[in-house]
């Protein structure tokens, strides 16, 4: 099963996502937020609790921040998610942090990756063994 959601209210979206556990056959989830007034890590915490999910895409049209996963620390690895598409501004160190919890990831697309000089940061996780596709669009 696949589900596509478009929402203008990120708080209502969180409540909706928390109820998706009742869809055990849900394999694909695409979310488009017209604006986001919460930390995106809250959305990811809810999404990664959906153990049946294989594909996830998050697009945010009006997002003034960037993905901040520095505090993201799930209790265990997320072996279920294989495809991740992030369609809003995100930072490279934050993405490597979240991907470090996803050893089964095959496909990653970062549509608005903000890259900056990270020469001070050298502790990136190792290469993901199952990654077969990586698509990056750099932004400044």
Give me the residue spans of the domains in the chain.
2-139
| 77-116 burial code (b ≥16 CB/10 A, e <16) | ebeebbbbbbbbbbbbbbbbbbbebbeebeebbbbbbbee
The arrangement of secondary structure in 2-139, i.e. its CATH architecture, is: Alpha-Beta Horseshoe (3.80)
List, run by run, the mean pLDDT of 10-residue segments along the chain (140 residues). 90 88 93 79 81 92 58 62 89 77 88 70 64 87
Residue 112 confidence (pLDDT): 85
pTM: 0.81
Residue 84 confidence (pLDDT): 94
Residue 20 confidence (pLDDT): 92
3-state SS class at 89:
coil
């Amino acid at each position: 099963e696949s589900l596509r959601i478009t929402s203008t209210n990120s708080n209502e979206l969180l409540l909706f996502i928390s109820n998706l556990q009742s869809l055990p056959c849900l394999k694909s989830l695409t979310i488009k937020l017209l604006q986001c007034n919460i930390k995106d890590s809250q959305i990811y915490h809810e999404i990664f609790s959906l153990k049946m999910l294989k594909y996830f895409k998050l697009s945010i049209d009006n997002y003034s921040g960037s993905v901040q996963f520095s505090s993201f620390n799930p209790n265990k690895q997320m072996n279920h998610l294989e495809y991740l598409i992030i369609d809003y501004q995100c930072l490279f160190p934050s993405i490597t942090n979240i991907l470090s919890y996803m050893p089964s990831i095959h496909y990653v697309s970062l549509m608005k990756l903000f890259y900056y000089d990270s020469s001070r940061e050298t502790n990136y996780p190792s290469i993901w063994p199952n990654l077969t596709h990586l698509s990056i669009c750099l932004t400044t």
